[in-house]
Structure 1
Amino acid sequence: MATINFYLDKSDKKGFAPIHLRINCNSEQVKISTGEKIKPEDFDKETQLVKEKSVRVAEINHYLNYLKERADELFNNTYKNSYSNKEIKSKLTDFVNAYKEDHNVNIIREKVSLYGKPFTFVDLFAGAGGFSEGFIQAEHNNKFFDFLVANDINENSELTHVVRYNHQLGLDADFLCQDITEPDFLDNLISKTKGKKVDVVCGGPPCQSFSLAGKRKKFDKKDDLFSHYLEVIKVLQPKYFIMENVKGILTKEKGKIKELILKEINSIVDIKEIPTLTSFIKSLKKSNIDNDFLLDCLIKRIEIEQFTDTKAEEAKETYIKTIDSKFKKLTPKIADYKKSKTDERISTIRHGFNLLVRNKEWEKLKRDIIREKDFCNIDNDYFVDSFTQFLTDIDSNEVINKIEVAFGKLNVAKDFKKSCNDIIQALKIYVLNIDNCLTLIRDYCNKKQSSQLDKIINDIRLYRIEAPFVANSSNYGVPQNRERVLFIGCRKDQKFISEIPATVTEEEKVSVFEALYDLDFIGNNEEVHHYHLVDISKQYNGTAKKMKSLLKTRSIDGKPLKTNGKTFADWSKKGRLNGRFTKAKKPFYVKSTEALNNNEKVFDVLHNHKTSNQGEDVIKRLDIILKEGDYKKAKTKLDKCGLSTNKRNYNVLKPEKQSPTVMTIADDYIHYNSPRALTVREMARLQSFDDSFVFQGKRSTGGNNRKTELPQYTLVGNAVPPLLARAVAMEILKNIK
């Protein structure tokens, strides 16, 4: 049995005594300097900690407790039965050196000296940082990416970002922790770019409301975020942008959502070309005298695209007031004075204009209601229909529909029907995107004019995109079949990219065993902080030869190599970052932003490798499912053993194949060799995160906390696999001008 304590060495000239760790075991003694010094009177020998009055008390005591815990683990709770004195000293010295190296480092160090040609990028809806990680790994012909800003609404995303990119890698990348739908979001984002032009924007707007794996809801706060994402694109006008989404978006509402997204992308215009288009529309008035008013409305609608924020709102208000003015002149011709003041139909039209003029205020109200509705979990209850109806009624499209119905019931004389129809059509133009406006303009063209319009359309569209691209992560060296849709927008002055070439063939794909075998040294309810040697021959006996054959040496992106390659596991341990990060600091974990501010860091060799405390029945259940190889096949046996469960599904990992899509709940997966769920680190490996990427904060959460918290498992499950992001970044670097 070992005794572990701290003692003070002789004080230096300034009166500070070094703190040493001392371990006594079986008449043997190991002494290690902690690297910390304090005044002898500030050390409490009984508690073995620094007294409360001391400077940096929280940080030093956290560090001493951490060292004591790690020393205790080596003797009392370890995979390996015994260590030599040399091994103990070596392992504990690793922790001490990491602490010394990081000690007193500023939150953001001076930026790593750049080499080659940097292109800038911004990561929206960043989560853990899968896109960010892949982009900073990429390098092609001495070109690479300079990370400017990441954005997410969750504090643990920010904490994970700050630790990884500011503290560990020394980058000056900023983080904006704000909802993209808030009015001042764009101003704040632009201020954080520090005046630099943004070359690439990437991000995956949350998509639970239309995910194949989730329930569909009306007016979910996450349903319309792609339009806010595109607003950022309109303002920043990057050379390329990538929007990642679930495959279900392609079939949502029979493909209408996909088509809407493409139309919105095609509606991002080159502002310099707007005068050419408006001049062309004016020229159409000569041959369309009867439609003079509608062509003017099309001009006004298109000119709105020149503006942002306040000016855009003013232009929209002017547009509606112009139509309202036309209606006011028409009213005496279609209704007598008394009727115009009391008639429900006239009032509907008049008040509809009031609603449309106040559209900005109604949109803010709608956003707040949707947020509160989501917070109160209004769904599948007696409240949802009334909320949905109200939110529908205040939408501009529905307001215009009601105005049209009111006009239809007025029984207007034939002489004034065109004027009424023009007002309705003008209101419909107001809510059209530019792509639909261009389609409408064609209706006023003859054959020659239609050819002229084709050229103008080609020039005015700022981005080119033909169709979304379906990418399976396993095609890019990720040991996971995760299909995602990529919308890749290419600015018209850049080379067109329609797909991301695979880096591995079907036969070359990385297996689950390759990704996880070297982490298979952990039992139930354990946390391991070191790597341990895994002896495949001992673990697998008769199948060892087959298991060893699954291991291949590869390039970073998964391509098998005959020489100079590394296994997927070795790449994970070494890291896939490019040569700019030779001065990267050791990875560490903190439980919160407060802990980071107090310097309460945990330096381990291996992070995030902890198993859940599963009860005996759960272990038996998982063991039966594991041996049957499939949850459905195991259900009969589970019933007989009294171990059945209401859980919808378990995914048994197959060592020779790729994993199914990694989600946010670890209990959905069963390890291929042990009746247990996966650790955060194992899920991160299946996502292709390096081991040096530490997921911060709480490990997991449940219940209503899932609305506000983003624990480690959720960070991992929601992330874009870095190797997929790397492939995207590489393709952009090959083509970007």
Structure 2
Amino acid sequence: MRFIDVFAGCGGLSLGLLKAGGIGVVAIEKNPTAFETLRHNLIQGSKFRFEWPVWLPVAATSCEDFLATYPSEILDLAGTIDLMVGGPPCQGFSTAGHRDPDDPRNKMAEKYLELVRIIRPSYIVIENVSGFDSKFSERKRANAVENRYFKKSYADFICDSLQEMGYSVSRGKVNCSMFGVPQNRRRYLIICSLTQDGDLYRELVLGSGQFKMYKGLDPNRAITAGNALDDLKTVGNRLVENVDSGLRGFKELEYKSPRYKKGFIALMREGCKGAPNSMRLPNHKPQTISQFATFRQASEPGRSLSKASRERLGLKKHAITVLSKNELAPTVTTLPDDIVHYTEDRILTARETARLQSFPDWFEFTGKYTTGGKARKFDCPRYTQIGNAVPPLLSEAIGRMLLSKMASRLAIDTESVVDLIAMH
């Protein structure tokens, strides 16, 4: 299953597809920092390597530049790609934002469709926030040229466009926890096929329990925050200097790998003999630590701090949650101070956040840990890379389902050839 990953980020979708047995060909990501993490681990990594075309530099590029710079080379890819995946930037669709029809990031999905028209992959997978299928609010716009965003959701627009190209479309919302991700993360999936493969979205959902069993997880139990993070607690354990951030004065846990033979942590530890990277602990000020302790007293673990509690504490943040050890984590975002550890008065490390996204410990994130102020609009530090990613376990489940479909179709085609030979 040869695939192209568009709006690839740091590689959550690609990682899952590669682990399922897919072959990466091209990954398009315009942010250099996110692309470097992708390149380091998957494109030219020690465990996986893309079959990268010689005509394309191994560098960050946008979908627009890719289409404009390599039109003939892209045309040559037609008929050679089984799957195209991508999660167009979601900020313009997210119900947590302003849901602006004019947001230029919404237009990126149209570039994705243009690429589909040229390459004609056998399958397409688009992943986005759950608000992707919600209609934009009615409001007048100055100099409005068209109003398709008001008449239908952007998901409807994309699905209608794909059906016009001849694809059968199945879609719906999934909670990533169904596939072993220790997080209450609801996403919108569009799964398309050029052949009549039935309702692929429904087949994916119905197969979630079997996938968890294949990964060595209990199909009837969700993976809790404690199941995912217990080996990364710092209280009572030795701390050492952090060196992978390039900054002095930060500590990290001196990690000792547990001898788990099964369960989520054992799954995350596969292929990683030593300590994972991105373990840097925050340098909280004493008043911040005291504030986190107050949060713990004022909140119900696992539930976002109520509006009344936030106002009483003088908090301007829209949401902050103290983890519950025995429940799913809330949706991981790009802001590290949205979540507080379940037993320690601190935010999570980048590695702990990556665990909640189901990135294995051998996967190394590169670049700065955080960015503040106006730089947030341009930089893509580690917490942002992780928060924006598609959970690899979800992607692997999708990849395995599509590979099974391809294998079944190949078996049918082979059987037809044998029958034809027998008839003659």
TM-score range, shorter chain: 0.7 to 0.9
User: Contact 1:621 / 1:638 at 8 angstroms: preserved in 2?
Assistant: no
Pick from 452, 457, 468: which aligns with 2:171? 468
Cα offset for 1:528?
2.4
User: Contact 2:130 / 2:186 at 8 angstroms: preserved in 1?
Assistant: yes
- Cα distance in 1 for partners of 2:74, 2:113 equals 18
Equivalent residue number for residue 164 of structure 2: 267
Q: Does 1:212 align with 2:95?
A: yes
User: Contact 1:479 / 1:687 at 8 angstroms: preserved in 2?
Assistant: yes
User: Contact 1:530 / 1:606 at 8 angstroms: preserved in 2?
Assistant: no
- Cα distance in 2 for partners of 1:711, 1:188 equals 32
- Cα distance in 2 for partners of 1:197, 1:176 equals 22
Cα offset for 1:155?
0.4
Q: Does 1:160 align with 2:42?
A: no
User: Contact 2:168 / 2:195 at 8 angstroms: preserved in 1?
Assistant: yes
User: Contact 2:130 / 2:188 at 8 angstroms: preserved in 1?
Assistant: yes
Aligned partner letter, 1:717:
G
Cα offset for 1:185?
4.1
Equivalent residue number for residue 350 of structure 2: 680
Equivalent residue number for residue 662 of structure 1: 332
Aligned partner letter, 2:115:
V
Count of paired positions:
363
- Cα distance in 2 for partners of 1:189, 1:135 equals 27
Q: Does 1:695 align with 2:398?
A: no
User: Contact 1:204 / 1:243 at 8 angstroms: preserved in 2?
Assistant: yes
User: Contact 1:134 / 1:729 at 8 angstroms: preserved in 2?
Assistant: yes
Q: Deviations over 1:281-327 (max 9, x none)?
A: xxxxxxxxxxxxxxxxxxxxxxxxxxxxxxxxxxxxxxxxxxxxxxx
Q: Deviations over 1:440-465 (max 9, x none)?
A: xxxxxxxxxxxxxxxxxxxxxx2111
- 1:528 aligns to what SS in structure 2? strand
- Cα distance in 1 for partners of 2:116, 2:127 equals 14
TM score, norm. by length of structure 1: 0.46
Equivalent residue number for residue 491 of structure 1: 194
Cα offset for 1:667?
0.5
Q: Does 1:619 align with 2:343?
A: no
Uncovered stretches (5+) of structure 2, i.e. residues with no partner: 53-57, 137-150, 213-217, 241-248, 410-424
- 1:181 aligns to what SS in structure 2? helix
Change (3 A) 1:132 1:633: closer
User: Contact 2:78 / 2:120 at 8 angstroms: preserved in 1?
Assistant: no
Aligned partner letter, 1:498:
Y
Cα offset for 1:566?
1.1
Cα offset for 1:644?
3.0
Cα offset for 1:259?
2.4
C-alpha RMSD of the superposition: 2.9
Aligned partner letter, 1:735:
K
Aligned partner letter, 2:328:
Q
Q: Does 1:203 align with 2:86?
A: yes
TM score, norm. by length of structure 2: 0.78
- Cα distance in 2 for partners of 1:731, 1:647 equals 40
- Cα distance in 2 for partners of 1:621, 1:566 equals 37
User: Contact 1:186 / 1:232 at 8 angstroms: preserved in 2?
Assistant: no
Cα offset for 1:496?
5.2
- Cα distance in 1 for partners of 2:126, 2:16 equals 15
Equivalent residue number for residue 246 of structure 2: none
The one of the two structures with greater contact order (alpha-carbon pairs below 8 A, sep at least 6) is 2
State, as a whole percentage, how many aligned pairs show the same letter.
29
Equivalent residue number for residue 79 of structure 1: none
Change (3 A) 1:230 1:191: closer
Aligned partner letter, 1:469:
G
- Cα distance in 2 for partners of 1:662, 1:494 equals 33
User: Contact 1:148 / 1:193 at 8 angstroms: preserved in 2?
Assistant: no
Pick from 13, 16, 29: which aligns with 1:134? 16
- Cα distance in 2 for partners of 1:477, 1:470 equals 16
Q: Does 1:531 align with 2:255?
A: yes
- Cα distance in 1 for partners of 2:318, 2:177 equals 25
Pick from 250, 260, 267: which aligns with 1:571? 267
**Quick check: which one's helix share is greater?**
1
For 1:328-727, list aligned pairs within 5 A: 462-465=166-169, 467-492=170-195, 497-499=200-202, 500-501=204-205, 502-503=208-209, 507-521=220-234, 526-528=250-252, 530-532=254-256, 566-575=262-271, 605-630=275-300, 632=305, 639=312, 644-727=314-397
Cα offset for 1:527?
3.0
Change (3 A) 1:259 1:648: closer
User: Contact 1:628 / 1:634 at 8 angstroms: preserved in 2?
Assistant: no
Uncovered stretches (5+) of structure 1, i.e. residues with no partner: 1-118, 139-143, 269-461, 536-552, 554-564, 576-585, 588-603
Q: Which has the larger radius of gyration?
A: 1
For 1:72-221, list aligned pairs within 5 A: 119-138=1-20, 144-165=21-42, 166-169=44-47, 171-174=49-52, 175=58, 177-182=60-65, 184-185=67-68, 187=70, 190=73, 197-221=80-104
Equivalent residue number for residue 111 of structure 2: 228
- 1:242 aligns to what SS in structure 2? strand
Change (3 A) 1:636 1:211: closer
Aligned partner letter, 2:93:
F
- Cα distance in 2 for partners of 1:260, 1:195 equals 24
Q: Does 1:242 align with 2:120?
A: no
Equivalent residue number for residue 51 of structure 1: none
- 1:223 aligns to what SS in structure 2? helix
User: Contact 1:202 / 1:243 at 8 angstroms: preserved in 2?
Assistant: yes
Cα offset for 1:256?
3.5
- Cα distance in 2 for partners of 1:610, 1:528 equals 5
Cα offset for 1:210?
1.6
Q: Deviations over 1:448-487 (max 9, x none)?
A: xxxxxxxxxxxxxx2111x422111000000001111111
